[in-house]
Amino acid sequence: MRFRTGSLRVGESLLMLGKGKEVRSVIVPSGEMAVRSRGPEVLEAYLGTCVGVALWDREAGVGGLFHALLAEPLSGGSPPAEPFRYAATGLPLFLDALEGKGAKASRMEAAVAGGAIVGPSDDVQLDLQLGARTLERVELFLRSTRIPVKVSETGGTFTCCLRLHCLDWTPEIVPVGSHFFRPGISGPIPKPDRTAVESAVAQVKPIPQIAFKILSLLRSETYQMGEISREIRLDQVLAAKVLALCNSPIYGASEKIESIDRALVFLGERRILQLALSVFLSAIFPSKPGGYSLCKGGLFQHAVTTALVAEFLARRLGMAQGRAYTYGLLHDIGKIVLDQLVTQHAPLFYRQALQSTRPLKEIEKELFGMDHSETGVLLVRHWNLPMDVADVVGGHHSSDAVVPEAAPEEVALITVADFVTNRFLAGAQMERLDPNPVIPAVRRCGLSADRLEKMIADMPLALIRQQAAGF
């Protein structure tokens, strides 16, 4: 088998079918699977480098969807604690679950999607093509079980959505963002000049003074509990939101946390600072679907997810975790500005994004006069943020960025974190990454492809998704 040519918030939503019928949409995140009997549901997986497999038995009225993160466990021996992360260990269990509901492999059909490549160069193909290895494992399993593939869309460099309609067991594979695209629209787009972009920058909400203080504390990695508690208590709304987050099921407090001091003891100084900064920024990012966001709050979800991934990688690499989280949270702030222009010209933007194979930043440059990294630097300066933040915002998509203030390895770390988020925790925002900076960034971080794969395998995916969706 060889296929041609990518996640949203974990949970459910309602989709409208013809004649006003509603069906429930269920997201199957990476490293998980779902099995259903015939009914008004649509199972969905948003796939970048991950591979999605839908299997169904029409006669039994049973089907399901499996979302494989990687090909196989890197260490042999005992079974992995989370077998559904891997195609090699998850697919047999997925098949067992379907057969446990009455399906038979001899009657099953399959749809396969995902396995996006990092980029077309030989260097990248040899070094970081994790999706290709996962796809090979999927192909091997389907051949060995003699389950025919009826629909497939794999490889490429863009994110797609694999759906299985459980009413009639119809599979569907569509590019992410296609629901915003209206065919038949043509004509030139009026390109905003620098004045228009600067005007959009000026319309972005300012950051309050306390946010600067919190940002400074996170970047310095030197803070005291009393100082943090005092700063957060100065803003009653912030304090209330931080306490609400601390008391959410995500953090598993055994008793209600009623004070910032208690929250600091429970979660630690750095996590409280991260929550506080994230609360401020959540009010600045656009919340509605459309523009760059593929779901409600998608752009901010991606920012928090990248921040958490960057923090995880920094911890493994012995780098400053507070700085990594801050940089990850702010890396795409230029999209806050361009989102206003994307929304105004959505049909044309999505047409270009979906019909082109170029990186999205090139499409931004063509349509709006500058890409989101350049626009982000304007916003950093407008907010008077430190120049090392500007270096990361402006340089995380460039393999030869000049970074006089930020350490080159910190810029590289955000490049890698952004890659991991877009390819393994995909679907919150519209993106097609330029692959060229990825391999140099991986090497600058002192990583091999195998070591990066091991880190991805060890990531607490469910916790990252919950925390990113918790705002």
| pLDDT, the chain, mean | 84
Task: Give the pLDDT mean for 171-181.
Answer: 76
CA distance 98 to 65: 10
pLDDT at 21: 59
Q: In the chain, what are the domains? A: 12-176 (3.30.1330.200), 189-205+287-471 (1.10.3210.10), 208-283 (no CATH)
pLDDT at 136: 94
- Per residue in 198-223, pLDDT tens? 888 888 888 888 888 888 888 877 77
CA distance 435 to 415: 10
Q: Angle at CA 338, nearest 5°, toward 314 and 367?
A: 115
Among 325, 82, 320, 327, smallest CA distance to 220 is for 320
pLDDT at 449: 83
Neighbours of 29 (CB within 10 A): 21
pLDDT at 219: 80
Predicted TM-score (pTM) of this structure: 0.85
DSSP β-bridge partners for residue 169? none
- Per residue in 231-262, pLDDT tens? 888 888 888 888 988 888 888 788 899 888 88
The pLDDT-based confidence of 350 (bands split at 50, 70, 90) is confident
CA neighbours closer than 13 Å in the CB half-sphere of residue 100:
10
For residue 342, pLDDT beyond 50 = yes
Among 447, 366, 365, smallest CA distance to 398 is for 365
- Per residue in 410-452, pLDDT tens? 999 999 999 999 989 988 888 888 888 888 899 899 998 889 9
**Residue 288 CA: distances (Å) to CA of 25, 27, 54, 298, 469:** 18, 19, 30, 8, 14
Of 369 and 84, more confident: 84
Two structure tokens written together for 141? 């399993």
Rounded (10°) CA dihedral 206, 209, 214, 217: 120
pLDDT at 151: 94
DSSP β-bridge partners for residue 172? 163
